[in-house]
Amino acid sequence: MTTATAFPPVWLRDNCPCERCRDPRNGQKLFGITDLPADLTVRDTSTVADAVTVTFGPDGHQGVFSRAWLDAQTSRSAGDGRTETAKQLWRAADFDGGLPVAEWDAYLADDGERSRVLRAVRDLGFAVLHGTPTEEETVLAIARTFGFPRETNYGTLFDVRVEPNPSNLAFTGMRIAPHTDNPYRDPVPTLQLLHCLTNAAEGGDSGLLDGFAAAALLREEDEAAFRILTTTLVPFAWSDATTSLRADRPLIDVDAEGHVREVRFNNRSMQALRLPPDATTAFYTAYRRFAEIIARPELLLTFRLDPGDCVVFDNTRLLHARTAFAESGARHLQGCYADLDALTSTLRILEESA
């Protein structure tokens, strides 16, 4: 049994649930930390059933805590679910039994099915919806089932098909090696959707790769290289006549506790590093190590998007790729960006009401 006195007085007071401390309409705290006495003490506690009444000194303020809630605070936090610690890392063979897929109609009709899809995106980094309408702009309707499209200079949605004067290699028939999108943007889009309208071309298969798994392999096999990639700011840029984006971010971003939170990998838009020669050489050695891991065939999951298929994936974690296709063939995807925070929010609400 936890007694309230196991917690520092300032922590208890900052979390006081009384109506003077928290707006009962929205749960938000009504005070700032400097509004609290600097010399807080716990003067007295008394427990009746689940209710722990705490009397604070020096001001005599009282709050009633739930004992169950206090007990729960003694276990380590699971965090916000965005780092490697909360994910199921994978390699291609893990999906030999099938991809995380759902039929669009079932996804729309059944909250359990919708939870399963959103959970796959959160935990595995992706899911595929089958049987969505093969009409333009459907990708936006799909995004709106769990969140909000993020408009960028590419539009609210973008067409992935062969263009005569491509502003981006995505708009050619070239093979695109595994990469994350828009590393030159900050905030980077955390989700991407790709919705297939037509795929009659020879080639043009899709690939996905778990960047967190690749980063974990790098750390296991060459910790010094891992450390270099978490601490070197890499300039990424993209520009055309009306847009000039730039962001300097590490290839592997770890949180304050050292857990991998984001991966960026895109040689196409990586700019010249300006480091002393030794640091440059060390970076490139580490970068090649990481790239060699990413190139391992056992990591790359390949599948084909058919008309009506939509893949939703975590762009801070998964790398995506496509094989080359004949530019004479008909292949047309529509894509959009969205954000993970809204998706995980939607999932939490579904799980709470289940």
Between CA 295 and CA 214 the distance in angstroms is 10
User: How many amino acids of this chain bind its own copies (CB under 8 A)?
Assistant: 91
User: Taking Cα atoms as reference points, which of 333, 320, 305 lies closest to residue 138?
Assistant: 333
Per-residue contact flags (x/-) with its own copies for residues 283 to 312, judged by CB under 8 A: -x--xx--xx--x-----------------
Residue list 84-113, contact with its own copies (CB under 8 A): none
Q: Give the one residue of 246, 323, 329, 330 binding its own copies; rule: CB under 8 A.
A: 246
Between CA 220 and CA 211 the distance in angstroms is 14
Residue 66 binds its own copies (CB under 8 A): no
Q: Which is nearer to its own copies, 105 or 163 (CB)?
A: 163
Question: Contact 36/14 with Cβ under 8 angstroms?
Answer: yes
Question: Contact 322/207 with Cβ under 8 angstroms?
Answer: yes
Buried b (16+ CB within 10 A) or exposed e, 72-100: eeeeeeeeeebbbeebebbbbeeeeeeeb
> Rounded to the nearest whole angstrom, what is the least distance from the CB of residue 69 to its own copies in the complex?
9
Residue 328 binds its own copies (CB under 8 A): no
Q: Give the one residue of 232, 263, 305, 334 binding its own copies; rule: CB under 8 A.
A: 232
> Rounded to the nearest whole angstrom, what is the least distance from the CB of residue 80 to its own copies in the complex?
4
Residue list 158-177, contact with its own copies (CB under 8 A): 165-169, 174, 177
Residue list 176-215, contact with its own copies (CB under 8 A): 177, 185-188, 190
> Rounded to the nearest whole angstrom, what is the least distance from the CB of residue 37 to its own copies in the complex?
11
Q: Give the one residue of 3, 6, 68, 110 binding its own copies; rule: CB under 8 A.
A: 6
Residue list 15-34, contact with its own copies (CB under 8 A): 15, 23, 25-34
Between CA 262 and CA 264 the distance in angstroms is 7
Residue 239 binds its own copies (CB under 8 A): yes
Q: Give the one residue of 151, 221, 223, 327 binding its own copies; rule: CB under 8 A.
A: 151
Beta bridge partners of 213: none
Ordered alpha helix ranges (H), the chain = 9-14, 67-72, 104-109, 111-123, 138-143, 211-221, 223-231, 277-294, 340-353
143: exposed, middle or buried (C-beta count within 10 Å: 0-12, 13-18, 19+)?
buried
Residue 140 binds its own copies (CB under 8 A): no
Residue 150 binds its own copies (CB under 8 A): yes
What Rg do the C-alpha atoms of the chain give, in angstroms?
A: 25
Q: Give the one residue of 79, 220, 304, 327 binding its own copies; rule: CB under 8 A.
A: 79
Q: Is the peptide bond before 58 cis (omega within 30 degrees of 0)?
A: yes
